[in-house]
Structure 1
Amino acid sequence: MNEIIRYGSIQAIPLYNCSAHTPATWYEKDGLPRPILGLTESLCGIIIVVLYIPMVSVMIEKEQFNMSCFKIMTLLAIVDIFSILINSIITGWLAFQGSVYCSYPTLIYICGMGGMGLWCCSCFIAVTLITNRLLDLIYPRLGAFLFDGNRTFIVLILPILYGLYFACLEKPILFTSKYHAWFFDPMIFEGKDAEYANIPHIVNNFFVVAVTCFMYGLFCWALCSKLKHVDIESESRIASAQIFFQSAMICAVNLLAAIIYVIMNYIDIPFWMILLGTLMWQLGNGAPVLIYLKFNKTIRNGILRKIGVKV
């Protein structure tokens, strides 16, 4: 955003100027249509968003929304919905056409700003959510001090500001159908890769995501410690096992996406690994829908109640 303000428009920014060729020439140079993959991504993204909407409506019901964890989960769900719009629905549409950055520079640049900000914001919210759950488990008085009542909204200002920093002040990610992924380098100029480096993004991906995984592991350990004397077939032990399984899945997906997206921007890696990174990014935002439906009884029953299947 600061570069747009400085130069007056996206096309006027020297590192993102596409005037060397026409959009058709850029397409012939690097474009690679993937219609089946693109349609599949867009369709899956639309389905996930449609499933997310009733979940959010259940989360914001008074009974749930009074709890701090549901306030945090609601913000995370909203961020996921906007992320899916970019990394699945719009990505699928661009892949279907075989677009590169210079095909739609304004659209891709703005979506890249949004995608960068939303990814980093969701990382911070994930840390906030596990911190909330962990404090409730081992330091409830501190958890109440930080998150009781409207204090949760104050805490949630931090991930929003964090995401806005990356969206407005750091270099965006830009789509190219050549690799079916979003890179910092728009692939306009040869030998200028280093000028598109985004160091804060590297720090976010390795530090914030690693901290999230560590804290989820700590949470599961603390939960199991509290339940070690409970019968192995009890509902509490079964629930703790489900929480561990959910945590492991979420962390594995996000960590893999974070690592691949850093590596592929600075090192040449096989196409299948780049494609895996894109898939993990999409799953990181879409998987919570499936996890909530499978493991979260409150949300599942709330949805069934809304559609009239359950009273």
Structure 2
Amino acid sequence: MTIQWADRAPTSGQPFEEGPRTSCSRSWTGISVEVVDLHGRAGWHLEDLRSQQPRLTAVLEEIGGRVEMRLAPPCPAPARNSASQRPDGHLTFIPAGTPVWECAGRFRYIRRVVIDFDIPALTARFDCGLEFPSHFVPRLMFSDTRVQALAGLLADACASPHLDSRSYGDSLALAIVYNLFRPALAARQKRGGLAPAQLRRVTARMAESLFDPTSIEDLADMTGLSASYFSRAFKASTGMAPHRWYLTERVRRAQRALLETNDSLAEVALASGFADQSHFTRAFRTITGASPGAWRKSREA
């Protein structure tokens, strides 16, 4: 929506004069960025900053006035040169399609950067297991010094003419994503479990290595956790230690073979990854409470 300017508060049907502005835009892995510089006139500024993707707006500079972010256009217009004691600059995050209005009274200069997030692309990019929320909620005019600083650096990278700034921009983009969305991940890990994406990747690797188990250290590396923390988190998520998970999956494979084939117990044991029938019997009894032969017979009855 076009920026609106007037010498007094906007009214319905009134023509508005657009003030001077410059902008530049650029895309990096999973994000698109636009930096806008607004040079004020003696009027009101009102702009709808909604996006078709989740969006972070960072107000980087405010000179001669204050910028406010609202979910509905103000009526009447915002007060001139608000006496708010908050520090310059703030962040606003909105879900896709959510109206959010940037408004200000008389001011000299505003510099902002808007960052749109391509969640599927970021999910693929964050192979380390960052789990994005299933539903986003608006966060208006909040402070995060780390994200604010990263947004400022990303704005500078956006305006840079150097072609070699892509890797630098990608790094900044990923740092912003991590710092913006990590509270949800941290809260989940604080409860002791793995994030769903982490658990899916780990159990997929374990299923592929059923007969030659992946080490705890290698599984932990997939999640960025220490081996000891990973073991605790895995148990909190699945109810069993990694070793027990492997054992249970082998027994489940053996159960299918016992029901679907006429193979001997020794043949089922070897096909399910057990060293011998004795090992198979002990493991099967541990998991099911019955011997393989007794379990098969009870299902055939």
Fold conserved between structures, TM > 0.5: no
Looking at both structures, which has the greater relative contact order when contacts are Cα pairs under 8 Å and sequence separation is at least 6?
1
Q: TM-score range by the shorter chain?
A: under 0.3
Largest Rg, 1 or 2 = 2
TM-score calculated relative to the size of structure 2: 0.20
TM-score with structure 1 setting the length? 0.20
